[in-house]
């Protein structure tokens, strides 16, 4: 009986340990909780090689028995987005790079301000001929075959662009007519019809297959 009693206690302790682990968010102080580490938020350059890597990763989603989603680096997905989105960076911007922080994608560039001066009201007088531009936002799948990068914040040099003026900044880099239904603060992004969603979370970009 003593042996059976000890065995019963061990089983009970094991059960309590499992229950305690799965309910730790309810009783464990926050500083002791563990979670999956976020990807390191470092700037990654935009390149044609990065665009090709992202394109190859996404192509796997078109396979019937392929993966349900693919994780793509910030630099690679931004490279593909800029190459596919009819965005004109030649002569407008150089040193383009991207990173993911939390649930947002950030893009930066050294940009020519000639097209923006005169369109930002009193802010125009604060701009140099070339300025550091930074945008942040998230991806949106508008419909099968059409996505967008929705710009949620923008900064030109030391100037934070008001939300109402962000579409004026976006218009400077879009070189084609905007598709109907696209938000005014969004860069159009043509997508293969087999792409169902693009989510940014925990410092990563996950591209999901369209399962419908």
pLDDT score of 4: 42
Helix axis angle for 48-59 and 74-84, nearest 10°, is 90
Compute the distance between CA of residue 39 and CA of residue 183 in angstroms, rounded to an integer. Answer: 29
Q: DSSP assignment of 17-64, as one string?
A: HHHHHHTHHHHS-GGG---PPPPP---EE--HHHHHHHHHHHHGGGST
Task: Give the number of domains in the chain.
Answer: 1
Higher pLDDT, 166 or 87: 166
Compute the distance between CA of residue 117 and CA of residue 176 in angstroms, rounded to an integer. Answer: 21
Does residue 180 lie within any of the structural domains? yes
Compute the distance between CA of residue 166 and CA of residue 189 in angstroms, rounded to an integer. Answer: 18
- Whether pLDDT at 53 is above 60: yes
Q: Residue 56: which pLDDT band, with cuts at 50, 70 and 90?
A: very high
The torsion angles phi and psi of 108, rounded to 5 degrees, stand at -130, 155
Across 47-61, 121-135, 185-199, least confident range = 121-135
Does residue 159 lie within any of the structural domains? yes
User: Within a 13 Å sphere around the CA of 209, how many CA atoms are in the beta-carbon half?
Assistant: 15
The mean pLDDT of 48-71, rounded to a whole number, is 90
- Whether pLDDT at 81 is above 90: no
- Whether pLDDT at 185 is above 60: yes
Q: Residue 9: which pLDDT band, with cuts at 50, 70 and 90?
A: low
Does residue 92 lie within any of the structural domains? yes
pLDDT score of 176: 67
What's the DSSP call for residue 179? Answer: P
Does residue 30 lie within any of the structural domains? no
Which residues does 114 contact at the CB level (< 8 Å), separation at least 6? 129
Does residue 8 lie within any of the structural domains? no
Does residue 109 lie within any of the structural domains? yes
Per cent of the chain over pLDDT 70 is: 74
Domain of 61, in residue numbers:
44-209
Question: Which tens digits make up the pLDDT trace of 151-175?
Answer: 999 998 888 889 988 988 887 767 6
- Whether pLDDT at 190 is above 50: yes
Does residue 199 lie within any of the structural domains? yes
Compute the distance between CA of residue 57 and CA of residue 63 in angstroms, rounded to an integer. Answer: 11
Does residue 25 lie within any of the structural domains? no
List Cα–Cα distances, 100 to 78, 108, 205, in angstroms. 10, 12, 8
């Amino acid at each position: 009986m003593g042996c059976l009693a000890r065995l019963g206690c061990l089983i009970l302790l094991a059960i309590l340990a499992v229950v305690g682990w799965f309910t730790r968010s309810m009783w464990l102080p926050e500083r002791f909780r563990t979670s999956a580490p976020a990807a390191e938020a470092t700037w990654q350059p935009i390149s044609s090689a990065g665009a090709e890597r992202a394109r190859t990763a996404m192509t796997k989603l078109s396979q019937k028995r392929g993966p349900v989603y693919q994780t793509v680096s910030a630099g690679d997905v931004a490279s593909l987005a800029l190459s596919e989105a009819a965005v004109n960076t030649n002569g407008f911007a150089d040193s383009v790079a991207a990173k993911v922080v939390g649930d947002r994608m950030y893009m930066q560039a050294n940009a020519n301000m000639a097209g923006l001066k005169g369109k930002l009201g009193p802010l125009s007088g604060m701009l140099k001929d070339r300025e550091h531009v930074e945008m942040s936002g998230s991806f949106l799948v508008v419909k099968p075959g059409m996505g967008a990068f929705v710009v949620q914040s923008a900064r030109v040099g030391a100037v934070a662009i008001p939300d109402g003026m962000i579409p004026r900044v976006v218009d400077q880099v879009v070189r084609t007519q905007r598709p109907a239904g696209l938000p005014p603060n969004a860069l159009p992004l043509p997508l293969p019809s087999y792409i169902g969603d693009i989510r940014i979370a925990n410092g990563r970009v996950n591209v999901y297959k369209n399962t419908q």
